[in-house]
Amino acid sequence: MLYIALWAAFGGFALMIVAYNLFELIKFVWFKRIGPTIYYLITGDADALPRH
């Protein structure tokens, strides 16, 4: 029974790490790509677009 509890705890920890990294990726994509593009479409300010 302890074996199952340890695997469940490890799985929860791994899931938390995956969820955090996914959140960071979504945040990066929003603030670096999608957010400035929407701002440009609304205002027409080309300086808001990210440079490569």
What percent of the residues of the chain are helix, what percent strand, and what percent coil, each to the nearest 5? 85, 0, 15
Helices then strands, counting H and E runs in the chain, come out as 2, 0
pLDDT digits (tens, 9 = 90+) for 1-46: 788 888 888 998 999 999 999 999 999 999 888 888 888 899 988 8
Q: Count the domains in the chain.
A: 1
In the block, residue with structure tokens 């999608």? 34
Domain containing 25 equals 2-48
- What one-character DSSP code corresponds to residue 30? I
Q: Is the pLDDT of residue 52 over 70?
A: no
